[in-house]
């Protein structure tokens, strides 16, 4: 066991992967979760609209504009999650004097954006 066992955001390896069992160092508040879920539902609606646009054989530029809007919305959601991760998990690891792994992971995630 390491000192970050209670912080599921810490990792011993340096690979990025999806691990659904991990949770943030500080659980999200109900308000934070709802805000993210609402944004994702909005994006879901936009994607459904895009599907309909394709099915209806809409003009390519109109579809591209909507695709751009979806990408921007997802990027904004991602930044919000990234900001919280930095302020909680990464900050906590640094304060505890063990932030190198968290910073490395954060830098890898930033490359995705």
Instruction: Answer yes or no: pTM beyond 0.75.
Output: no
DSSP letter at 27? P
**Terminal Cα-to-Cα distance of the chain (whole angstroms):** 32
Q: Helices H, strands E: what count in the chain?
A: 4, 0
pLDDT value of position 12: 44
pLDDT value of position 25: 67
CATH numbers and ranges of domains, the chain: 30-112 (1.20.58.1000)
DSSP letter at 1? -
Give CA–CA dist 65/13, Å, rounded: 39
Summarised one tens digit per residue, pLDDT across range 62-111 is: 999 999 999 999 999 999 999 998 898 888 888 888 788 888 988 998 88
Are the CB atoms for 24 and 6 separated by under 8 Å? no
Summarised one tens digit per residue, pLDDT across range 16-71 is: 554 445 666 678 889 999 999 999 999 999 999 999 999 999 999 999 999 999 99
pLDDT value of position 50: 98
């Amino acid at each position: 066991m390491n000192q970050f066992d209670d912080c599921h955001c810490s990792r011993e390896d340096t690979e990025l992967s999806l691990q659904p069992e991990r949770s943030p160092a500080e659980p999200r508040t109900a308000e934070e979760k709802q805000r993210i879920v609402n944004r994702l539902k909005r994006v879901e609606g936009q994607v459904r609209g895009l599907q309909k646009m394709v099915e209806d054989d809409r003009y390519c530029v109109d579809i591209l504009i909507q695709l751009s809007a979806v990408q921007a919305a997802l990027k904004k959601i991602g930044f919000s999650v990234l900001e919280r991760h930095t302020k909680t998990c990464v900050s906590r690891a640094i304060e505890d004097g063990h932030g190198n792994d968290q910073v490395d992971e954060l830098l890898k995630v930033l490359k995705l954006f």
